[in-house]
Structure 1
Amino acid sequence: MARRAHPDKDIEAALTYAESQGWRVLPGGAHCWGKMYCPWNDKTCRCGEFCISCIWGTPRSARNHARLIRRVVDKCSLDATTAVRH
């Protein structure tokens, strides 16, 4: 089953990019629209700082939040070309 789309087009595009890189996007949460999970779930991956990221439903700046989502994905210490899934 496909996840529901984020209401903001910039954030939805960033989430689609994250999913194309192997990240899981799960809608729902207490104070956020959803969460994004690193596909590698490695203890050494930036001390877990970027392994889970919150996705806000109504951020102050949707464009900046979308840029942050892409940055988290791009700065992951493990990438699809060098890492082995656990």
Structure 2
Amino acid sequence: MIRPTHPKKEIEEALRHAEGQGWRVDVGGSHAWGRVYCPYKEVECRCGEFCITSIWSTPKNPGNHARALRRVVDNCTAHRNRREADDDAEE
């Protein structure tokens, strides 16, 4: 099933970035447009919790919220460790 697009283009671009990195976007839920979930499900992720972050439907500043979403994806501990391991394997 195709997910609905986010009404703010900056946030939609950040969601596509997350999906491109393997993250799952779930739409719906209480108090938020949706959530993004880390694909790795490892204990080392963010304080012993799996990486999950909320997607706001109408943030005050969509650009800042989109940057925050990208930061969560790009700074995921498990993702960074796997990317570094892949880079070391290539060398």
Question: What TM-score, normalized by structure 2, do the two folds share?
Answer: 0.84
Structure that is richer in helix per residue: 2
Question: Which secondary structure does the structure 2 equivalent of 1:46 belong to?
Answer: coil
2-structure distance, mates of 1:58, 1:40: 28
Following superposition, the deviation at residue 48 of structure 1 comes to: 4.2
Amino acid at match of 1:18: A
1-structure distance, mates of 2:50, 2:71: 10
Aligned to 2:89: none
Q: CA RMSD in A?
A: 1.7
| Matched length | 83
Residues 1-86 of structure 1 aligned to structure 2 (within 5 Å): 1-48=1-48, 51-79=51-79, 81=83, 82=85
1:34-84 Cα shifts (integer Å, max 9, x gaps)? 00000011111122456110000001100000000000000000125349x
Which one is further off, 40-49 or 64-73?
40-49
For the 8 Å contact 1:50–1:72, the answer to whether it is kept is: no
2-structure distance, mates of 1:53, 1:61: 17
Unaligned runs of 5+ in 2: 87-91
Moved over 2 A (4+): 80-83
Unaligned runs of 5+ in 1: none
Bigger Rg, structure 1 or 2: 2
Instruction: Report percent identity of matched pairs.
Output: 55
